[in-house]
Amino acid sequence: MYCSMTRLTVQFFVNPIYAPILFNCLSFTDLRPSTAPQIHAILIFMQTESLAQKIYAAVRLIPRGKVASYSQIAALVGNCNLRRYVGYALHKNPSNSFTPCHRVVNANGFCSGSFAFGGGDVQREKLEAEGVVFVGGHVDMEAHGITEDDFEMMRAGLEEEMKRDKW
């Protein structure tokens, strides 16, 4: 989709679901070159909102009694370098009862320690209630980390959900 403005042409890509919203924003925006950063900010917000939804969908696919790392979730949504954004999105998760964020730990199996769960002990308690074993203060990743088969099943489930919801 292209938008031409006075002496400025902006090319942007947007999920078709958001196209009507974007056109409403553009029609009410003063389309001078000085407002291009505002349009850019609108697009970034839509992309990150969609990415956060993909992250939540991926986390919901982690089997009970298993854990995944931030990098593994980032890889499932398309970029393993987004592990910090995964942590940020999980910290901002609107529904901990629906999305089991406690099943995401760091690559070494250590709990978050963040106040998002009420502290590291709350995350550990939730994991132990699901049968996850801790060794030396961290999750036994060999026993409870997702396997390659789990990862591929999660990837297939995420792709199916994306098709169904037309992301």
Domain range list for the chain: 2-165
Instruction: Annotate 100-132 with b (16+ C-beta within 10 A) or e (fewer).
Output: bbbbbbbeebbbbeeebbeeeebbbebbeeeeb
Residue pLDDT tens, the chain, 167 long: 333 333 333 444 444 444 444 444 444 444 444 544 444 444 444 445 689 999 999 999 999 999 999 999 999 999 989 999 999 999 888 877 789 999 999 999 999 877 666 766 889 999 999 999 999 999 999 999 999 999 999 999 999 988 887 65
Provide the whole-model pTM: 0.69
The residues pairing with 5 across neighbouring beta strands, listed in sequence order, are 8
Backbone angles phi, psi at 126, to 5 degrees: -65, -40
Judge: domain 2-165, CATH 3.40.1830.10: no
